[in-house]
Amino acid sequence: AYMELISRLESFGANAMLSPSALRHTVLLFEELVLQLIVRELGKRQSGFPVRVSIEHSDTDDTVEMRINYSGERFDPLTEGEELSLSIVKRLAKEASFNYSTENEVTVRC
């Protein structure tokens, strides 16, 4: 499943004509934020699945926005996550935000 996800991200990058560095940042953000921080925590809690990820590219400012939604109890991976993954996310993301109303939502732009 991991290789399929990465392959889909690479296809997205090719279709959006992302530069190699923009694609690398997008894949790294996905790996650290979704796989290392969110999925790992939800696995411990055994709730919150499925995790839904949408990714959009803006031609206007050449940024990529990733929006991640998941249910369950409030969990802010931008402040409650593992330190190494958090530092990678903070280094790569131009903007990052968390919101919790009826579900958890994380938005990052790179």
Edge-to-edge strands of the sheet including 104-109?
52-58, 63-70, 104-109, 95-100
What's the confidence (pLDDT) of residue 43?
Answer: 94
* pLDDT exceeds cutoff 80 at 1: no
User: What is the pTM for the complete model shown?
Assistant: 0.91
- Reported as a single tens digit per residue, the pLDDT across 31-86 is 999 999 999 999 999 999 999 999 999 988 889 999 999 999 999 999 998 899 99
Instruction: Tell me the C-alpha distance between 10 and 97, whole Å.
Output: 24
- Reported as a single tens digit per residue, the pLDDT across 72-83 is 999 999 999 889
DSSP string, 46-74: T-SPPPEEEEEEETTTTEEEEEEEE-SS-
Local confidence band at 12 (pLDDT 50, 70, 90 cut-offs): very high
